[in-house]
Structure 1
C-alpha cells in the first residue's frame, strides 16, 4: 500500500512545539509526512530539526531550493498549514510568497492540491480587519480554513494556551479532503 503524502507546514506559534507528536499521530494514521516551517518556526525548533527529519524520513524545509536542485519531497496529496500565524495567513491571501511554506500553499491553490489551514492568532490580532479579509479570500479560493466555529478560536492576548490547539480537528480535515478526492 502506498502511503498518502501530507505536507505539514507550521509557523512560529506556541503549538509548533507539539509538532513531533502531531507527526507521530499522522504517521499512525498512515500518512507519510513532509515537514515545512516558516523561517522563524525553524529557528524556534532549531535544536529539534535533525530529529524531526529522522522522524519523517524527509529533510525539514524552511527555504526555497536553488534553481536546478531536485525536489527532495514526494508530491503532496494534501497540505495542512497549522499553526498558521497572522503574518502567514495574510501573506498567503495577499500572494506575498517570501517564505517557502507560504509560496508552496499559494501555488497549491493553482495546482488544485487540497489544502487545510488552521490559524493560531490571539484575540488582539483577531480584531484586525485584514485577518477576516484574508480568511475570506482563502476560503473563496478553495482553502479549508478552520477558524471560528468548528476550528480555532482565538485566545486572549498573552494567554498562550498551546495545549488547547485543536490538532485533531486539523488532521481530521486533511484526511477528509483526501478521502473526498
Structure 2
C-alpha cells in the first residue's frame, strides 16, 4: 500500500507543477498582450498629436491675413467675420491652410503593419467658466479640434466580438492666444 501512496504523491505534485506552469504561461501571455497594446496606443497618441500640432501651425481662420511683416491682420468683425468651419476649396491635407480645414478629414493609415481609421472634427465652442465647453450656436473665438482614431487591433476587453476602442483627443484653440 505504501507504493501507491508514493505514486499518488508524485501525481499530486505533477498536478500542482502543471497548474503553476499554466498560470505562469497565462501571465506571460497577458503581459505580452498588454505590452503590444501599449505600443499600439503610443502610436495612436503620437499620430493624434501630430494632427493637432499640424492644425495648430496653420492660421486660426481662413479670413486671417498677414501684412508684409508677417503679423496677422484681424478681421473687422470678431467673431462674425470668421469663415465657416471646413475647407474653402482645399482638396487634401497638404493643401490645408487654416485650423478648421481639418474638419471632416478622414484617412486610413498603416503604421507598423497596423491599420488605423482616423477622423477629425472641428467646431466652434463656447464657455462661461473655461472649464466646460459646449458647441457654439454661431461663430466664436474658440475652436475645438477632435481627432478620433480606432483600429481593429485595439478592442475593448480584447474580445473579438466587440467594437474597436475609439481613442479621441481634443484641443481647444483661442483666436486671442495666437
Answer whether TM exceeds 0.5 for this pair: no
Decide which structure has the larger Cα Rg and report it: 2
Greater fraction of residues in strand: 2
Q: Which fold has the larger relative contact order, with Cα–Cα distance below 8 Å and residues 6 or more apart in sequence?
A: 1
Please report the TM-score for the alignment, with normalisation by the length of structure 2. 0.22
Please report the TM-score for the alignment, with normalisation by the length of structure 1. 0.22
